[in-house]
Structures are given as C-alpha cells and as structure tokens.
Amino acid sequence: MLDRKQLPKHLYSLDIVRGLAALVVVLWHWQHLLYTDGVSSSYRLVDQPFYSAFSIFYNHGWMAVDFFFSLSGFVFFWLYSDSIANKRIGGATFFVVRFSRLYPLHFVTFVFVLVMQLLLHAKTGSYFVYQNNDVYRAVLNLFLASSWGVLPGYSFNGPIWSVSVEVLLYFVFFVTCLTFSNKYLVAAACAVAGIVINEFLPEVGRGMFSFFVGGLTFWIYSKAATCARAKALTALVAIFALAVWGCVFIDYEYSYLTAGLQQLLESVLPGGYSVFIPGLIYRISHLSIFGVVFPFSILALALVETLRGGLGKRFAVIGHLSYSSYLLHFPLELVFFVVALNLGIDREFFYSKYALLLFGAILIPLCLLSYHYFELPMQRFFRARLTSKWNGPVADNVVSRVERTL
C-alpha cells in the first residue's frame, strides 16, 4: 500500500492524452477551411479527409475541450491544492506561474491573428470564421477575459475561449483551496453550480463542471491509490473505463443506448412533455460523457500508471503539442485560407487527404519548435524573475515540480 507522499511526481499517460485531445480539436476545426468564403458554416461533413477513420472526431471533437477542463482540474488539485491550503505557495506565485505558461503564446497568436484578420477584412470585407473582432473584444482578449460572459461570441483566435474560462476558474480554485478546509465538498458544489451556470453562460458552466469534476477525480485517485486494495480497484476502474468507452463507440455507430433512453423517457413522461425529450437526451448523454466517461478515463490512466510506473514515458513528448497546437492551429488555418485565396485555390482542395497531411506536417514541427524555443524559455524567464521573491525556496520547489508537469 502506497503512502500519499509516494504517489508519482509525474503521470506521463496524462501528458499523452492531453496532446491527443488537442489534435482532436484540430480535426474538429478542420471544417473552418471548408466554409464558403471562410464565413458560412455550410460544408460536406462526410467528405472531410480520412472521414471513415476520424468521423467521431469530426462530429464530436468539440468535447475534447471538456476533457481538457477535467484533466486540468485533476492536475491542479494534485499539484497545487495542498500547497495553497498550507500557504506554501501564495497567490502571486500561483498566478505568475500560470501567466508564464499561458500568456506569451496567447499574446503572440492574438497579435498575429489580429493583423491577419484586419488585412483579410480590408481585401474581402469579412473575417475568417470568427466575425466579432472589435476593439472591445480585443481588450478582453488581451486580459484573457474574452469568455467571462461580458460579451457573447468568439473572436480573434477563437479557441482561446477555453483558456479564458480556465483563467476565471483559477480564481475559484485558489479561493476554494485557501479558504475551505473541506475543499472537495466545495468542489462538488462548484461542479453542481456549473450545471446551473451552463444554462445562461454555457462556456463558463461547461468549464466549471468539468474542472471540478476533475478535482473530485483526483480525490478519488488519492484514496484508491493508497488503499490496501489498490490493485483490485485499479483493475475494476480500468475495466469500467474500457466498458464505458465501448458503450460510447457502440452508441455512436448504432444509437442503441440513445434509442433505449428515448423509449424510456417516452414511457415515463406524459405525452404533453414529449417535446422536451430531445433536449433531455442531449443533456443526459453529454453529462454522461463529461461526468462519467472522461473522469473515469483519467482515473484509470492515473491508477494504472501508479501501479506500473512510467506508463507511456517515451511518448510523453506528445503532451508538448497540447497548448501550442491548441493556439497555433487556427492561425495556421488562417494562413492556409489566405494563401489559397491569393493563389486561386478552390476550397475543394481542403477536402483532400493531402491538404490535411500538409497541414499536419507544418503544424506539428511548428508546435515542437514553439514549445522548446518559445514557451519554455518564456516560462523560465518570468518564473525566475517573479516567483522566488514572494515565496522563497519552498515555492521554487513547487514551481519546479509544476513546470515538469504542465
């Protein structure tokens, strides 16, 4: 039986799935290059490159963002919660660490997209995909506040919306860990609050629910990994995770579970309420994915790696792609669109496999270069100058550990 202090310092399997989830988002956003004039969302879904292999990602890849939120919640409760509660890491250090990780690449991609969109608008009279590119939203983007519910709609480098929400969640997380002795009970309350908030602020609600479910997943992991029956629990969790993923893929192909749920609701609800059934099915299915499938996947990977040690270490480099691919893929799409526009290349080209392969051949090396030669140096620059002055060597130790993980 492991003591809590013997839990792994790094979970490489989570690095891998984080990177893969980012690439799923890239596939989901491939549709951008198929829009009419880069604006209208009318396109041929089933004709996208390698559709037979990637159809589930082309149809539901947006859910990978919710997986990111859960994974972030798990990692933050793992690496930060006790240090914040014990005041070994203060607010200044915490937010500088996060600023140094998120802001440099955000700022560069924001400025690049801003300039490119202005040039494109001057030429065509419209922007590429995201049309809400005004001065007010530019200011919100500069402060990573674009999706805090101030104004609706995505703008500039659109995928940044989830990073904006996560920054907002950092405040909730920090206050939770610093203020409440039973932080996991508060995390459960925040997850429930996320369901409610989702009804009027969908982006914030989605993020809050999944982030704090991820935090609760870490709590379960910390108990399961250190109990006397850890091996048996690991096997059960792994089997359950595989089973629920099997259900997901079977329902995607054949809709057995969806059809069964519809029949159940039709038999239970009075006839006058049948109009609500599609909405209920939508909510139940997505809550099942975000509240069961994703958390148990993270839990299974963490437990298996804790038991076996170093699971997937040689492939952990995939995790280095996650943040850079998430923020760089839309600017690269914008470049592809502008080049195609100027060379007279029809959008039909982007239905071809060669277009996707070319995009990937540029994006992946670009992401690795960004990680090693821009993101890491910028992190170290800010952390070396801004963290140690507030919290001293204890905070430096925490920051160093976090730097190896995030």
Q: What is the pLDDT of residue 215?
A: 97
Query: Mapping DSSP to helix (H, G, I), strand (E, B) and coil, where does residue 143 land?
Result: coil
Q: What is the pLDDT of residue 300?
A: 96
Residue 20 tokens, joined: 């893969």
In this structure, are residues 194 and 73 in contact, taking their beta carbons and an 8 Å threshold?
Answer: no
pLDDT at 395 over 50: no
Q: What is the greatest pairwise CA distance in the chain? A: 67
Residue 397 tokens, joined: 């130790």
Q: What is the pLDDT of residue 276?
A: 80
Dihedral sign of CA atoms 49, 110, 208, 297 in order:
positive
Query: Mapping DSSP to helix (H, G, I), strand (E, B) and coil, where does residue 155 land?
Result: coil
CA distance 365 to 367: 5
Q: Tell me the DSSP string of 253-282.
A: HH-HHHHHHHHHHHHHS-GGGGGGHHHHHH
- Residue 401: pLDDT band (50, 70, 90) is low
* Residue 229 vs residue 165, higher pLDDT: 165
CA distance 327 to 110: 9
Domain chopping of the chain, boundaries: 4-403
Residue 402 tokens, joined: 């976090």
Contacts of 46 (CB under 8 A, 6+ apart): 55
In this structure, are residues 320 and 105 in contact, taking their beta carbons and an 8 Å threshold?
Answer: no
Q: What is the pLDDT of residue 256?
A: 85
Q: Residues 37-50: what's their mean pLDDT?
A: 84
Q: What is the pLDDT of residue 391?
A: 52
- Residue 68: pLDDT band (50, 70, 90) is very high
Residue 340 tokens, joined: 């195609």
pLDDT at 92 over 60: yes
Q: Residues 314-324: what's their mean pLDDT?
A: 88
Cα–chain center distance at 334: 21
pLDDT at 348 over 60: yes
Residue with tokens 């690095």: 15
Q: Give Cα separations from 128 to 43, 58, 71, 301 (angstroms).
A: 15, 20, 30, 38
Contacts of 16 (CB under 8 A, 6+ apart): 312, 315, 316, 318, 319
- Residue 404: pLDDT band (50, 70, 90) is very low
Among 348, 249, 294, CA closest to 73: 294
Q: What is the pLDDT of residue 3?
A: 59
- Residue 298: pLDDT band (50, 70, 90) is very high
pLDDT at 400 over 90: no
Neighbours of 188 (CB within 10 A): 16
Q: What is the pLDDT of residue 48?
A: 96
- Please report which helix (H) or strand (E) contains residue 96, including its range: helix 91-124
Q: Residues 295-320: what's their mean pLDDT?
A: 88
pTM: 0.91
Q: Residues 80-90: what's their mean pLDDT?
A: 90
pLDDT at 183 over 80: yes
pLDDT at 359 over 50: yes
322-340 confidence digits (pLDDT tens) = 999 999 999 999 999 999 9
pLDDT at 310 over 80: no
102-113 confidence digits (pLDDT tens) = 999 999 999 999
pLDDT at 389 over 90: no
Q: Tell me the DSSP string of 21-32.
A: HHHHHHHHGGGG
In this structure, are residues 327 and 160 in contact, taking their beta carbons and an 8 Å threshold?
Answer: yes
- Residue 388: pLDDT band (50, 70, 90) is low
Q: Residues 120-140: what's their mean pLDDT?
A: 93
192-225 confidence digits (pLDDT tens) = 999 999 999 999 999 999 999 999 999 999 999 8
- Residue 373: pLDDT band (50, 70, 90) is very high
- Residue 269: pLDDT band (50, 70, 90) is confident
227-249 confidence digits (pLDDT tens) = 888 899 999 999 999 999 999 99
